[in-house]
Structure 1
C-alpha cells in the first residue's frame, strides 16, 4: 500500500510540470484512461502502481481545470472584466483586521445583480474603508476586478502561486460609492474574538498574542519578523502542526486527569477510552477554527484523525504508511497544498525526527527522566537543524546558525507556557474577561523572556549564513556524510572516496564558469518584473550596477526588498557597486531609502538628492566599469520636469549596445536626435513604459532596436504599451517583450551573440506560475 500511496503523490507532483493545464477533451481522455487501467487491474495486479500514478496525475489536473474555469462557468469574459466597474454581492471569508487599508477575501455570489452559476473567490483592497466589515458579513461593493496575477522574479515571493493555493481567481479594489454597504450582518465567532482581543489587549507583545491565538500576523512589525527569521523561530508565530499537536495532547491529558479524579460510578466505563479522544479532537478542531483553518493546522488535524482512527480500530500500521496516508488525504482534500513549501518542510521534519530517534535513540536510554527529556530535545533539534539545512538554504537562500540554540530553549518553553495559556485565555475571554486578561499578562511575560533570549542570540555577528557555493557544499555534503556514516553501510574510507570527487567537481564547475565568463566578455542584464515601474540590474564577474529601483508603498512594501534583494541573494551578489536612479518618480526611485538603510550600494548617481558617495548624472559624462562603458546622454541640465530629467544611459561593451532612457518624452527624444547623441542599439527599454507621449516615429526609426522591453503593469489603467507605439516597433521588426506578461527578463551578452530568457517561459514555465 505504501508504494501505491507514494506513486499517487509522485503522479500529483508530475502534473505540476506541464506548461499549461490541458483542455477538457484531454482531461476526459485521462479520466477514461484511469477507468480502463482500473478494469485491467482486475486481471493484472501489476498495473496497480500505474493506476495509482495516473490517478494522482489526473486528479491534480482536474482540480486545476475546475479552478481556472471560473469565467467559463459564469459566462464572463476574462479579457474585458477589468475594463468596467462592477457591483458585486458576496460573503466576507477572511478575518477583518484593524488597518487603514483593508485586505480581505470575498466569495462573490452575484455580479451586477446577476446571480453566478458558480461562486468564486476574490482578493480585495479597501482603502480608507467607510463601512464596518466583519468576517461572515454579506456585502455589496462597487469594485474594479482583474484576473489573479503576481510579479514573477527569480528568488522573490510568488504572489500568483499564493493566490492559487487560496483558490483566489480575481483581485481588485473597492471604489468609493454610496452603493457600498453591508446587506446582512453575520459576524463570525472568530471575528468577535478578534475584536475583543484587539480592544482589550494592552500588552507590549500584543501582535505575538494575536498571532498565537487567532493566526493574525498582520501586526507583527518588520524588526520582529527579522529577529524571528534570524533565529529560525518564525514557525512558532504561525499557528502550525506543532501548536495543534500540543493543544490536542493537552486536551487528551486533561480529560484523562478529570476521569482519574472523578468517582467511577459517575462515568460509564464501557466507552471510557473514547472521552480523551473526543475532547482532544474538540480542542484540535477549535484551535484550527481560531486559526482560520490555515493549511498547516489542517495538515496536522488530518494526521491526528488518522492516528486516532488506527487507535480506535486497533489497527497497527507503520509510521511511513501513516505519513503517506495523511499526505495523500491532504492532497485529495486540498489539491493545491502540493505547491506549499511548508508541506515538504513539515513532512521532512517528521521523517528526520523519526530517523534521528531510530538511529541515535540509544543515547537517551537508561537515563533519568530529566536527562532523557533534555537529551531527546537536543537530539531532535540537532537532527532537524542538520538534515533540513539543504532544503532551508535552497528555499530561503539563507541558514540560521543560531537556530538550534534558539529552538532548543524557546520551543519547549513556549509549548508548555505561552501557547496553552493563550488558548485558555482566548476561549475564556467571552465568559470570564478578568481571568482571561490575567492569563494574557502571564503569557506576555513568558513571551517577553523568549524575545529577550532571541534578541541576545541575534547580537552574534555571523548568525545568518547566506547562499553561496561554499555554504551550499557544506550544508549538502555534511548531512550526507553523517547520514551515510550513521547507516554504516560503507566504511569511512569509501565515504571519503565517494564524496571527495563530488566536492572537487563542484569546485571545478565554479572555477570553469568564472573563467568562461572572463574569456567571453560575458555579462548579464536583468529587467525585473516590478509592475508600472523600472528596475534593471547589470552583472559582470560577480559585481553589479542597478538602474532604478521600482516603487515603494505606504504599507512598507518595496521592490528592492521584494525583487532585487532576493535576486542578489540567489545569485550570490552581496553588494551593488553603483545605483543609478533616473529621476525622482516613485515608480523608479521608490527603493532608494531601503538601499541606504541596508547599505546595499557602494555609490550612487542621483540628480534629485544629495547622497553620500554620489555623482551627478549629466550629459557628456561616462563611467567605465569592468570593460563596460556607461555613457550619459541626458539630461543636459535639470529643469524640474521629472520625466524629462531622466538620466539616459547608453551601455556598451564595444560590440553590443543597450539604451536605458527612463521616462523621457518625445521632446527629449527629438533633442537627442538633433544633438546626434543616439545610435542604433541592440536592446531598448521602451521610454516611459510604452506611453503615447514617448517612442516617437523618428526615435524608433533611428535607434532600431532588435529587442524592445516594456516594463509595465498587468492590465494597467493607462493601457501601456499603447497600440500605436507597439506598431512602430513592429514595423522595424523588433522583438517586443512585456514584463507583465513574461515576468523577469534576463539578457546574456557575449562577444558573439545576445540571448534572453524570461521567468514565465524559461525559468518556471509551469502552469502554477503562469
Structure 2
C-alpha cells in the first residue's frame, strides 16, 4: 500500500510540472486500462505483480490530476472579453479584505447580463472606494452572502514570473479563481439581496460578525489583527511589520491558521471530552471514552477549519485527521507511516494542486518527523524530565528536518527559531488561540482583553529575540536539498547509532553551495518582471548593480520587498555595489526603501535629490572585471533648468564587454532621444535595447531605433496595463528586431558571455495553467 500511494503521488506531481496537458480522451482511455490492469495484477503477489501495480498507480495519479485540471481549465475567461465592461449578478462569496484604497473579495457569478459574454464561475474582484462619492462610500459595506449587480472589467489570471518568486497564477488556479478584475467606478453597484441562504455563505457571514466583534472590543490594540487571524483566518488583518517580526523569529506558521492550530484544537477538545466522558458511567457504557474523544476532536477540527474559512492548509490537516480518526474509531492500528500516506492520498484526491504549495511539503514533513522522533523514543522513562527531553527532541527534529525545504524554497531560516517556538508554540496553541476561539463563542470583552495582554507579552519576547540575525544564503540546487534529506534522517536516529556525524556531512553542501556568477569578463543582465515598472540586475564576476527598484504597489507593498530583494538574496548577492534610481516616478523608485534597508548600496547614482545620492551625469564611467559601464544621460546642465517631465531626467546606462552591449534607457522620451543622438550617436549602437518608457507613444523615434540598431529589444511592461503600453505603432517600429516582453515572457536574462543570448523565465518554467 505504501509504494502504491507514493507512486500515485508521483504521478500527480509529474503532471503539475508539465507545460501542457495530454489530450483528455487519451487520459480517459489510460485510466480505464490502468484500472482493469490493476484489478488483474492485484491478484498476483509476486515481484512482477507488485512492480506492475506500483507503475499503474502512478498512471492513475497522472490521469486523475489531468482530469481535474481539464475540468478546471474549462472554466475560463475568453480572451476577447478581457478588459471589457461586463454587467454581472452574483454573491460576495468570502470575507472581504480591506486594502489601502478599497476592498478585495471573491465573487460567485450567478448570471451575466451583457449579451454574448462568458465568465468563470468564481472571480476575484477589487472595489476601489476612492473614486466613489463620499455619501455612497459610507453606505458601501460589503458583507459575505450579499447579492449584487455590478459592472466589472476582468482579465485572465496573471502574476509576475521571476526565478524563486511566488507563482500567483498557481495560487489562483488551486483556489478556482479563474479571473481577476475590478468594479467599474462609473457604474454604481446595486445590492439586490442582503443575504443569500447557502451553507458556505452562512459560515462566511458568521466569520464576518466575529471579526467585527474582535475590532469592536480592541479598536486600537496593536495585536488585535493577530487574534482575529488566529480565530477566523483573516491574515490580512496583520500589518506587514508584524509579519516581518514573525519571519525573523521563525514563528510565521503560528500566526496564521495552519495544520498545527487545527491539530492542537482537536487535541484539546479530544482530551477535554474524554475526561468529561469518563465522569459518567452511563456514557461509558453507551460508548467508550476513547471513541467519544476521537469524535469530539474530529468535530472540533472540522468546526475550526470552517471558522477559518476552510483555507487550503486547514483542509489538508482536516483530511489527515480524518484518516487518523477513522483508524482510531475502527480500532485498527494502521501505524504512523500508513496513516500519513493515507492522509496524503486523500489530500491529493481532493486537491491535486496541493503539491505546488510550500505549506504542503512543510506540513507533511513536520508530521512525518514527529512520528519518526516519537517512534524512536518508545519506552523512554516518564516524568517531567522525560517530558522536557521529549519536547526538546521534537523541537530539534522539526528545526533540523525542515531546513532543506526552508533553504530550497525561502533561502533563509531564523537562528532563534527553536527558542522562539519553544515558548510560542505552547502559548499560542494551548492558551492564546483557545481564548480567542472562546471569545468567538462567548463574546465577553475581558476574555479578549486578557488574551491580548498575553499576546503582548509574547510579542515583546519575540522583539527581544529579533535582534539576532537571520541565516540567509543563495538558493541551493535541488540535488543538494535531496542529498540533505537522508542527512536529516541520519542525524535524527536514536542516540548511540554509529557515525551520526555522516548526516551532518550530507547537510553541508546545502549550506555552502556557491552562488552562480558570470566568468571574468562576462555579464548577466536580468530584466525582472515587476509589472508596470522597471528593475534590472546587472552582475559581473565580482560586482552587482541594480538599475531601478520597481513600482510601489500600495502603502505596505512594493516591488523591492516582494520581488527585487528576494531575487537578489536567492542569487547570493550579499553586497549591492551600485544602485541607480533613474528618476522620481514610483514605477521605477517605489522599492528603493526596501532595497536600501536590506542591501545598503556602496554607491547610489540618481537624478532624485531626496535620495541624497551622487548625481548620474553623462560621461560617468567605470569598469568591473572587463565589463564597462557608461552613463549617457542626463547632462549636468539638465539639473539646473526645469524639465517638462521627470522622465526627461532618466539615467541612461550602457553596459558593454567583448561579447556585446546593452542599452538601458528607463523612461526617456523623444526630446531626450534627440539629445542623445546629437551628443553621442556612436554610443547608442547596441546589441540589446531596453525599450524607452515601456513602449509609450512619446518615445522610440525612428531615428533613435535606427541609431541603436539592436537585434534584440526588451519591453518591461505590466499585463494589460492602464496605459496600454506598448503602443501598437511603437511595436511596429521595432519589427526588424526580436521582441521580448516581461508581461508575456516573464523575467528576461541577457547573457553577455561569448556572444549575446537571451532567455525568458516563462519559457523555462512554463506550466499548463499559465495564461489560462
- 1:458 is aligned to 466
1:691-737 deviations in Å (ceiling 9; x for gaps):
2222122221221101100101112233322222222222x2x1110
Cross-structure match for 2:755: 753
**Among candidates 313, 329, 335, match of residue 318 of structure 1:** 335
Partner of 2:214: 197
2:426 is equivalent to residue 444 of structure 1: no
CA change 1:321–1:191 in 2 (3 A) is same
Q: Is the 8 A contact 2:104 2:127 kept in 1?
A: yes
Unaligned runs of 5+ in 1: 430-435
Distance apart, 1:654 and its partner CA: 4.4
Give the C-alpha shift of residue 347 in structure 1.
Answer: 0.6
CA–CA separation in structure 2 for the residues paired with 1:724 and 1:470: 44
Match of 1:670 in 2: 674
Is residue 2:376 matched to residue 1:376? Answer: no
Distance 2:392 2:497 in 1: 27
Give the whole-Å Cα distance in 2 for the aligned partners of 1:475 and 1:60.
26
* From 328, 332, 341, the counterpart of 2:349: 332
Aligned to 2:199: none
Tell me which moved more, 472-481 or 279-288. 472-481
Does residue 270 (structure 1) correspond to residue 282 (structure 2)? The answer is no
Q: Which residue number in structure 2 is paired with residue 766 of structure 1?
A: 767
Q: Distance in 2 between matches of 1:371 and 1:168?
A: 50
The whole-number CA distance in structure 2 between the counterparts of 1:343 and 1:96 is 25
Against the structure 1 CA distance between its residues 611 and 37, is the aligned structure 2 distance closer, same or farther, given a 3 Å change threshold?
closer
Aligned CA distance change for structure 1 residues 67 and 235 (closer, same or farther; 3 Å): same
Q: 707, 710, 720: which one pairs with 2:712?
A: 707
Give SS of 2:602's match: strand
Q: Report if aligned partners of 2:373, 2:394 keep a CA contact under 8 Å in 1.
A: yes
Secondary structure of the structure 1 residue equivalent to 2:631: strand
Which residue in 1 is equivalent to 2:262? 244
Tell me the distance in 2 between the aligned counterparts of 1:314 and 1:506. 45
Task: Determine the structure 2 residue equivalent to 1:433.
Answer: none
> Residue 178 of structure 2 aligns with which residue?
169
1:399–1:687: structure 2 CA closer, same or farther, 3 Å change rule?
Answer: same
> Per the alignment, in what secondary structure is the counterpart of residue 713 of structure 2?
strand
Cα distance in 2 for partners of 1:352, 1:243 equals: 17
Residues 618 and 633, structure 1, Cα contact 8 Å, conserved in 2: yes
**Secondary structure of the structure 2 residue equivalent to 1:693:** coil
TM-score after normalising by structure 2: 0.89
8 A contact 1:109–1:119 mirrored in 2: no
Partner of 2:322: helix, strand, or coil?
helix
Aligned residue number for residue 110 of structure 1:
111
Q: Secondary structure at the match of 2:604?
A: strand
For residues 208-234 of structure 1, the C-alpha deviation after alignment (integer angstroms, 9 at most, x for no partner) is 111111111212222211111111111
Out of 27, 30, 45, the residue aligned to residue 30 of structure 1 is 27
Rounded Cα–Cα distance in structure 1 between residues aligned with 2:475 and 2:226: 36
Among 631, 637, 649, the alignment partner of 1:645 is: 649
Structure 1 segment 8-407 matched on structure 2, within 5 A: 8-22=8-22, 26-45=23-42, 46=49, 47-71=52-76, 78-99=78-99, 100-112=101-113, 120-128=121-129, 130=137, 131-186=140-195, 188-202=205-219, 203-262=221-280, 264=281, 267=283, 269-271=285-287, 273=289, 275-361=292-378, 365-368=380-383, 370-407=384-421
Alpha carbons of structure 1 residues 280 and 573: separation in structure 2 relative to 1, 3 Å: same
Distance 1:717 1:224, change over 3 A: closer
Quick check: 2:581–2:589 contact (8 Å CA) kept in 1? yes
SS across alignment from 2:554: coil
Measure the CA separation in 2 of the matches of 1:607 and 1:229.
34
- 1:757 is displaced (CA, Å) by 2.0
Residue 525 of structure 1: aligned partner: 525
SS at match of 1:629: strand
Counterpart mapping for 1:712-727 below 5 A: 712-727=717-732
Q: 1:38 to 1:472 in 2, by over 3 A?
A: closer
Gaps of 5+ in 2: 43-48, 196-201
Q: Distance in 1 between matches of 2:390 and 2:689?
A: 61
Contact residue 393 and residue 472 of structure 1 kept, 8 A: no
Cα–Cα, structure 1 residues 371 and 499, in superposed 2: closer, same or farther, change >3 Å? closer
Deviates more, 1:443-452 or 1:211-220: 443-452
In 1: Cα distance, 2:119 partner to 2:749 partner: 40
Q: Name the residue aligned to 1:635.
A: 634
Mapping for residues 510-659 of structure 1, pairs under 5 Å? 510=514, 517-518=519-520, 521-612=521-612, 614-636=613-635, 637-638=637-638, 639-640=642-643, 641-659=645-663
For 1:3 and 1:478, locate their aligned partners in 2 and report how far apart those are by CA, in whole Å: 22
- Separation of aligned partners in 2, 1:502 and 1:386: 10
Task: State the superposition RMSD in angstroms.
Answer: 2.9
Deviation at 1:676, TM superposition (A): 4.0
8 Å CA contact 2:230–2:257 kept in 1: the answer is: yes
For 1:612-666, what per-residue CA distance to the aligned partner results, in whole angstroms no more than 9, with x for missing partners? Answer: 4x22122233233443222222223334221222222222124411111111222
Task: Kindly state the Cα deviation for residue 198 of structure 1 after the two structures are TM-superposed.
Answer: 2.1
Any idea what the Cα deviations from partners look like across 1:172-225, whole Å, max 9, x if unmatched?
111224540221112721112222222222444211111111111212222211
How far 1:670 sits from its partner (Å)?
Answer: 2.6
**Does structure 1 conserve the Cα–Cα contact (< 8 Å) formed by 2:561 and 2:594?**
yes
- Going from structure 1 to structure 2, the CA distance change for 1:495 and 1:621 (only over 3 Å counts) comes to closer
Deviation of 1:280 (Å): 2.6
Alignment-derived partner of residue 45 in structure 2: none
In structure 1, the residue matched to 2:46 is none
> Quick check: 2:218–2:449 contact (8 Å CA) kept in 1?
no
Tell me how many residue pairs correspond in the alignment. 738
CA contact 2:654–2:664 (8 Å) conserved in 1: yes
CA distance in 1, matches of 2:3, 2:29: 23
* CA apart distance, 1:108: 1.5
Change (3 A) 1:718 1:119: closer
Q: Distance in 2 between matches of 1:298 and 1:366?
A: 36
Deviation of the 1:668 alpha carbon: 2.2
Q: Distance in 1 between matches of 2:277 and 2:706?
A: 87
Distance 1:681-1:13 versus aligned 2 partners, 3 A rule: same
Aligned-residue offset at 1:302: 1.3
Could you tell me how far 1:105 is from its partner in structure 2? Answer: 0.9
- The answer to whether the 8 A contact 1:535-1:546 is kept is yes
**Residue pair 2:294, 2:328 contacting (<8 A) in 1 also:** no
Residue 3 of structure 2 contacts residue 54 of structure 2 at CA under 8 Å; is this kept in 1?
Answer: yes
Helix, strand or coil for the counterpart of 1:269? helix
- The alignment partner of 1:102 has SS state of strand
- Asked if the contact 2:112/2:118 (under 8 Å) is kept, the reply is no
Cα shift at 1:409: 1.7
Deviation at residue 102 of structure 1 after TM alignment = 0.5
Q: Is the 2:401–2:488 Cα contact (8 Å) retained in structure 1?
A: no
